[in-house]
Structure 1
Amino acid sequence: MADVGVRPARRADVAAIADIQVRAWRQGYRDIVPEPVLAEMTGPAALPVWRERWTEAATAPPSGRHGVLVAVANDLVVGFAAYAPAEDADQDPQAAAELVALLADPVHERAGHGSRLLAATVDLLREDGCATLLTWVFEEHEAMRRFFGSAGWAPDGARRSLAFPSGGSADMIRLHTDISAP
């Protein structure tokens, strides 16, 4: 049996986090995000930018309510989650948080890493007094919607459209769950 777990991200994890983000986006968004945009966001020039951003998020978060967790299997980073206070105008950032990212390496999908990351995030935010957890997903991303739905998340009616620099857009829906009680 593999030695698996979740822990706070460290500086040494940043390269793996950025690599997982790029691989997961290439696979998960290939039918949603236009190819030129996806290529720019996941290409060789983007990787150093993502590494810099994840280094800052993991080592110097803007507040104690921001965090990055990694899923590990046999000492290998196989997924990550990032969370922050909710910034949507209709949310109280003291009571609501946003799951900004939840990605597993496509090579390690369906091994429970996403579920472990989600549970650890909920536990940390609940301890911090958070009552609601939100996330935005592409409306067309059926796999992600099914994953969150199986964990008790549901759309809350909020929608937005993500405009792409090269033209076109993709609709997003906000999902939420009550984490106030175990």
Structure 2
Amino acid sequence: MIHADVSARPAVPGDEDAIAAIQLAAWRAWMGEAADALPADQVRAQWAAAIVAPPSRDHRVFVACDGPRVVGFAAITPGEIMALEVAPEHRRAGHGSRLLSACIDTLRLQGREDVRAWSLEGDDARRAFLTSAGLAEGGLRRTLEGPDGDLVELMYRAAL
């Protein structure tokens, strides 16, 4: 049996197109058609900048690959996983776990003692993923302005 090459690696220039497409698809799943009004070119440009000129040495972007195809991404800031998404058709294949491992390993190498991640309230799949990986609700909530109203996120955390 032939198995596809699956991996997680640091993002490189050119990955921003796939990252933006995956992020916009994830937003579309939560916001519906309102996500179509988001500026895709700006999203792509922000990811390109995050890859080539991150705000600090501790900011990183990773991608999950299935063969040569980028199928997911994650981004960290000091002590926090800011984003972690896998394309819907590639979920439940270990890509999210590989991305989470890359984030955790990097945070440990940076000397971080804990990690935080955020999940939209009501995203049971993400909550299950984070808790199965050892993160627990951290007791904080934040409200983000969405194109169709407020979005509430819950913070999850774990000691490293």
Length-normalised TM-score, structure 1: 0.82
State the match for 2:58 in structure 1.
65
**Does residue 118 in structure 1 map to residue 85 in structure 2?**
no
Q: CA, structure 1 residues 145+55, in 2 after alignment: closer, same or farther (shift >3 Å)? A: same
CA distance in 1 between partners of 2:153 and 2:80 (Å)? 14
Structure 2 residue ranges without an equivalent (≥5): none
CA distance in 2 between partners of 1:163 and 1:78 (Å)? 27
- Runs of 4+ with >3 A deviation: 163-166
Give, in angstroms, the shift of residue 49 of structure 1. 0.7
Give, in angstroms, the shift of residue 39 of structure 1. 2.7
Give, in angstroms, the shift of residue 178 of structure 1. 1.1
Using the aligned pairs only, state the percent identity.
43
Structure 1 residue ranges without an equivalent (≥5): 86-96
| SS of aligned partner of 1:120 | helix
Give, in angstroms, the shift of residue 21 of structure 1. 1.0
| SS of aligned partner of 2:153 | strand
Q: CA, structure 1 residues 14+163, in 2 after alignment: closer, same or farther (shift >3 Å)? A: closer
| SS of aligned partner of 2:134 | coil
State the match for 1:172 in structure 2.
153
Out of 7, 19, 22, the position equivalent to 1:20 is: 22
Per-residue CA deviations over 1:1-36 (Å, capped at 9, x if unaligned) read 111111110111111111111122222x1xxx3643
User: Residues 49-60 of structure 1 correspond to what in structure 2 (within 5 A)?
Assistant: 49-60=42-53
User: Residues 80-119 of structure 1 correspond to what in structure 2 (within 5 A)?
Assistant: 80-85=73-78, 97-119=79-101
**Does residue 137 in structure 1 map to residue 128 in structure 2?**
no
CA distance in 2 between partners of 1:78 and 1:163 (Å)? 27
Give, in angstroms, the shift of residue 165 of structure 1. 5.1
Alignment RMSD (CA, Å): 1.4
Q: How many residues align?
A: 158
